[in-house]
Structure 1
Amino acid sequence: MPVISAPYDFNEDELYVDLASMFGHSLFLKCEGFNFAGSIKLKAAIEMVEAAERDGVLKPDSILVESSSGNLGVALSMIAASKGYRFLCVTDSRCNLTTRLMMEALGSQVHVIAGQEANGSFLGARIDYLRALCASDRRYVWLSQYTNPSNWKAHYRRTAPEIARQFPQLDTLFIGAGTTGTLMGCARFFREWHRPVRIVAVDSVGSVSFGGEAGRRMIPGLGMSIRPPLLDESYVDEVIRVEEKDTIRACHSLARNGFLFGGSTGTVVSGAMGWLAEHETAGHTAVALAPDLGERYLDTVYQSNWLQGLYGDDVIEADERASESWAVQPAPPAPASSPSPSPSPGGRRPHMRTGDRGGRRRHRRRTGDP
């Protein structure tokens, strides 16, 4: 029985979902959302905070500040509350409302940047705000997840060894690319592994992490509007770019099978399934990382009006929309009234048996690629 005194001391890191029955290709999805911060960002957050403490950067009167689209902000909020620090998260309008409320519930302050760059990115504005903040008061300590080597070291020391223990014959590892901390930590570890492991980075269309034109990205978690300072492409064997519509379809396919994951997971699963469909994978061992769960995305990725407003009516397939509306049917007409049965001898009414009047719920299981 685990007994802890600090919330960051617990992290379930050995849970995998086999997606073969859902998508037709064997892929083991490593679930990183089962901790009190709800995401893989807990690992990087605690590594960066403890490194800053060892280096004497963090002091009792320090105020932690960080730019985050959501998950790292929640992790730092939790750690700051546990350790007695104050924390200010600088985010933007793409941050899910649930995520903002979680940070505030943990005692943190959240500053939402309204301005954005010409390419539609908020990141530059967030970073400019943080730089000005730190220049104004020495108490502000910016951990800078985009440049902090402790970001990737957390995954070199923890995430990759966890995978290696469970899959000593691993062939391919799919990792979503944001700051590239997870990607670089795992890639560096498996470069030293006893057998070759193919590292496939999964990015969002519209991200410039690996080159290409910047474009609109509405689902937080993956992709960057600048080249990630931590990225070293020599450790990456292949890059897959996924459209946000395909991200959404993968999320909904998983949910229809009872697994509610976040947007980043949908991107990684969509990219991995496309790759597996194009390659000979008999006897192939493939693992992908699921950074978080889906509760924080209920008002975005899983909300019909939000989806249709941004991506159009066809973002969710027609047959899926039909299955979603199975319960929205007119009420059946009330049965015609009939005279009450005559009392039986002795004044007792006869026993009446009623059948099941409810409609039958159709259960449909979808298979195949999202």
Structure 2
Amino acid sequence: MTIVSAPYEINVDDVFVDLRPVFSVPLYLKAEGLNLAGSVKLKAALEMVLAAERDGLLSPGDVLVESSSGNLGVALSMIAANRGYGFLCVTDSRCNPASRRLMEAFGARVLVISRPDKERGLLGARLDYVQRLCDFDSRYVWLNQYTNPRNWLAHYRNTGPAIAAQFPELDVLFVGAGTTGTLMGCARYFRERERPVRIVAVDSIGSVSFGGPALTRYIPGLGAGVRPQLLDDSLVDDVVMVPERETLERCHTMARAGFLFGGSTGTVVSGALRWLADHPGSEHLTAVALSPDQGDRYLDSLYDPAWIEEHFGTEGGWPAAAPRPADVRPQLVASTS
């Protein structure tokens, strides 16, 4: 019997999905969303909050504030509710409606930024707002996932060792790049081990993290409009950039196999498949990709035919929009009784 006293104690960290039956490629997917926060961001959120408490930066009555596209905001909302803090999430219009509702259910406030900074996009505008808020009111405490070393340290201490324990012969690890906390933590952990592991970063086209041009992106999670301060390029062996349309295709392919994952996961899987296809002999490698999130929060976006049609058109092979209620006709079923 397992008995917990805090919601973040419910966390399954040793489940890997074999994607060979889905994509006919030897690739294992580490499911990081099997916790009550629903994503890998729970690790960083908890590490940052506990460190702030130990350092005396958080006191009763304080209000946490953070810029987040969704997943970290949900994790901090849950932790703040459990530990007695207020929480304000500063996000933008790309944040999934389900994520906003989850944060509000935990008692958090959600502020949506709609006007991007001319040079640094929506993320830059979010960061500027948080900074001004903290300068104006000392009650607000900004953990700042974009610069906080506890972000990557959580994965150096937990995610990397968990992968190594299950795959001691690991050859290549695929990690999505957002704040790059997960990427840097895993990269540092495996750099210190005797067995070499190739670290491949996966990012969305339109993100500026690895020097590409800033372009419009619709799927929250991975990617950034401002280069992450945590990123150390010397710890990354390869970078794969993925178009968002391909993210959609991978998500829907996995859903048709019964695995409902989020947009960040679809991007990482797509990047891994691209890299493996470009490297002869990859079928003999032990390859693992990190799945940051589950798909239930994307039902109003990635898995909504109307949303897909609005942003990506209708030629993707995903399900067509459902008929309106007036178009549905009842069907008569003969009774055998």
The equivalent residue for 2:110 is: 110
CA distance in 2, matches of 1:108, 1:333: 47
Which residues of 2 match residues 23-172 of structure 1 at below 5 A?
Answer: 23-118=23-118, 121-172=121-172
CA distance in 1, matches of 2:268, 2:140: 35
Q: Give percent identity, aligned residues only.
A: 61
Which amino acid counterpart does residue 44 of structure 1 have in structure 2? A
Shift of 1:137: 1.4
The equivalent residue for 1:211 is: 211
The equivalent residue for 1:304 is: 305
Kept in 1: contact 2:26–2:283 (CA 8 A): no
- 1:151-171, Cα deviation, whole Å (9 max, x unpaired): 000000000000000000000
Which amino acid counterpart does residue 310 of structure 1 have in structure 2? H
- 1:293-336, Cα deviation, whole Å (9 max, x unpaired): 0000000000111111111111x22xx547999xx99777999x
CA distance in 2, matches of 1:302, 1:110: 23
CA distance in 2, matches of 1:323, 1:27: 32
Structure 1 stretches of 4+ moved >6 Å = 322-325, 328-335
The equivalent residue for 1:176 is: 176
Shift of 1:61: 2.1
The structure-2 alpha-carbon separation of the partners of 1:11 and 1:333, relative to structure 1 and needing over 3 Å to count, comes to closer
Kept in 1: contact 2:305–2:320 (CA 8 A): no
How many residues align? The count is: 333
CA distance in 1, matches of 2:86, 2:173: 37
The equivalent residue for 1:246 is: 246
The structure-2 alpha-carbon separation of the partners of 1:45 and 1:289, relative to structure 1 and needing over 3 Å to count, comes to same
TM-score, structure 1 normalization: 0.86
Shift of 1:283: 2.4
CA distance in 1, matches of 2:328, 2:84: 53
The structure-2 alpha-carbon separation of the partners of 1:135 and 1:192, relative to structure 1 and needing over 3 Å to count, comes to same
The equivalent residue for 2:285 is: 284
CA distance in 1, matches of 2:131, 2:118: 20
CA distance in 1, matches of 2:331, 2:202: 49
Shift of 1:286: 0.3
Kept in 2: contact 1:200–1:236 (CA 8 A): yes
Kept in 2: contact 1:120–1:216 (CA 8 A): no
CA distance in 1, matches of 2:254, 2:21: 11
Kept in 2: contact 1:119–1:215 (CA 8 A): no
CA distance in 2, matches of 1:276, 1:102: 36
Kept in 2: contact 1:120–1:215 (CA 8 A): no
The equivalent residue for 1:11 is: 11
Kept in 2: contact 1:245–1:311 (CA 8 A): yes
Shift of 1:119: 5.6
The structure-2 alpha-carbon separation of the partners of 1:331 and 1:167, relative to structure 1 and needing over 3 Å to count, comes to same
CA distance in 2, matches of 1:262, 1:16: 16
Secondary structure of the 2:25 match is coil
Shift of 1:113: 1.0
CA distance in 2, matches of 1:330, 1:142: 54
CA distance in 2, matches of 1:164, 1:94: 34
CA distance in 1, matches of 2:49, 2:300: 31
- Gaps of at least 5 residues in structure 2 are none
- Gaps of at least 5 residues in structure 1 are 336-352, 356-370
Which residues of 2 match residues 175-194 of structure 1 at below 5 A?
Answer: 175-194=175-194
